[in-house]
Every structure is written in C-alpha cells, then in structure tokens.
Amino acid sequence: MPDLLAIEGLRAGYGEAVVLPDMSLRLADGEALALLGRNGTGKTTLINSIVGATRRFGGTIKLGGRDITALRSDQRARAGIGWVPQERNIFRSLTVEENMTAVAQPGPWNIEKVYAMFPRLKERRSNFGNQLSGGEQQMLAIGRALTLNPKVLLLDEPTEGLAPIIVEELLAALRKITQAGGICSIIVEQNAQKILGLADRVVILERGAIVHDAASAALKADPAPLERFLGVAGKG
C-alpha cells in the first residue's frame, strides 16, 4: 500500500529563488508529523508547495498514489489537501457556519462534529468571521479545513500569538484529530516541546533540507538534536 503522501525530489521556491533544493518526504495514513526548524529554513515553503502555492522546478507530489503535481491549489483541496495557513484566511464577511458550508465535502467530518470539538464555534455559529477573536478564528480555520474531509491536514504555526489557555485547547483538539485516524498531518510549530507530545514523528529542516528525521519518542529520550539544530533546551 503506498504512503498517503509521497514527495520525491521536490525542487521549489518563489520566482527564481530555490528554497527547497531536493525535498523527499513520505507520510503514512494516520501519521502526525511535526515540522521544526529555525525561521527561514523552508518549513512554510514546504507546506505551500504541497498546497500548490510555490513555483516548482522539479520533483513530484503524490496523494494516495495519485500524482497531484500538476494540479492547481483548488484541485488539490478537492483531492484531499486541507490547509490552515498562518494567516488563517477565513471568510470574514461570512458567518462561522457559512465558512464551513462553503467548502464542505462529504465524509466523516461534518459541521456538528466540528462544533462538538469546538463548542465555542457553535455558540458563535451566526457571528461573522471578523467578529471572532484570534483563537476563535484559528478554531474556525481548523474546522473549515476538516469539513473538506482531507486526507492530509497541513497546519502552519497554528498556536502562534494565542493565549496559553487557547493554545492548550487547540493542542487538545489536534490530538483528537490525529487519534481519530484517516488523516495524516504536518504541523509547523515553534514550540518543540508542545508538539512532541502530539506528533508521532519529527522532521527538522535546515536550509531547505531535512537534517533530522526521527520518532518523537526518540527526541524525548535524547533531546540533543533540538539543542543542536534549534537551540532549545531539552526540557520544556
């Protein structure tokens, strides 16, 4: 059985600039991957490349064995790529519920299931996107991506700039999503210690290349690579 997501020899960037010189990465069904690295190492570029928002110079991206390399971003979304960008990109002039019904596709994740995970969204189902707090907007961005019923869920720094209590709520929700199965996920996160308890596997990037790829449990047991590549202490 093929990997759910298979990236082979991807060379990508912006304009004439190559940020990812030769990226190969595979994810299995249900696997949660933490993508770590200092600023400017190519984490967001990798996410954007999977979405189809960068310039590709070479390589392939396959989803469930299907080559999606030539597909547009909207076609990739319909094929099963769910994306929660740093900017969230919710529809500010639509209500919470309209944000989700606008993109929903058939599958196990429906609006009621999202409301069960984020009761705050249910309370604000009639509020417009621009009436939500930052944490609520992030919940909506995740909920909207889930109603697409994606095969792969990409989250680019989902806890950035949020209050600690909201961060804990979001991490608990992400844990439920990964445990539910049927989705593999890539989570870009600055706080390595928080994400280690959520991810099955950790990949560290440096200058657009993978410099460390290991199980989260291995990094917990020996956090030396975190200090070496990220400059963070082993204890959180």
Q: How, if at all, do strands 184-188 and 32-36 pair?
A: parallel
Q: Give the confidence band of 2 by pLDDT, cuts at 50, 70, 90.
A: low
188 closest CA partner among 42, 78, 12: 42
pLDDT at 58: 98
DSSP-derived 3-state class of residue 188: strand
pLDDT at 235: 44
Which amino acid makes up residue 47? I
9 closest CA partner among 185, 208, 184, 187: 208
Tokens 């999202």, residue located: 114
pTM: predicted TM-score of the whole model, two decimal places: 0.93
Q: Are 180 and 191 in contact (CB under 8 A)?
A: no
Task: Count CA atoms within 13 Å of residue 171 on its CB side.
Answer: 21
Report how far residue 137's alpha carbon sits from residue 152's, in angstroms, rounded to the nearest whole number: 21
Which residues have a Cβ under 8 Å from the Cβ of 93 and sit 6 or more positions away? Answer: 128, 129, 130
Specify which residues 13 forms β-bridges with: 18, 55
Tokens 């919940």, residue located: 139
Kindly report, residue by residue over 134-172, the tens digit of the pLDDT: 999 999 999 999 999 999 999 999 999 899 999 899 988
199 closest CA partner among 161, 158, 147: 158
pLDDT at 234 over 60: no
Specify which residues 188 forms β-bridges with: 35, 156
- In angstroms, what CA-CA distances link 42 with 21, 62, 99, 180? 10, 20, 30, 29
Q: Determine which helix (DSSP H) or strand (DSSP E) holds 100, and give its type and residue range.
A: helix 96-101
Q: What backbone torsions phi and psi does residue 45 show, to the nearest 5 degrees?
A: -65, -40
Planar angle of CA 227, 154, 78, nearest 5 degrees: 165
Kindly report, residue by residue over 88-143, the tens digit of the pLDDT: 999 999 999 999 999 999 999 999 999 999 999 999 999 999 999 999 999 999 99
Tell me if the domain spanning 5-230 has CATH number 3.30.70.120. Answer: no
Give the chain's mean pLDDT.
93
Output the CA torsion sign for 42, 82, 109, 135.
Answer: positive
Q: What is the mean pLDDT of residues 166-184?
A: 87
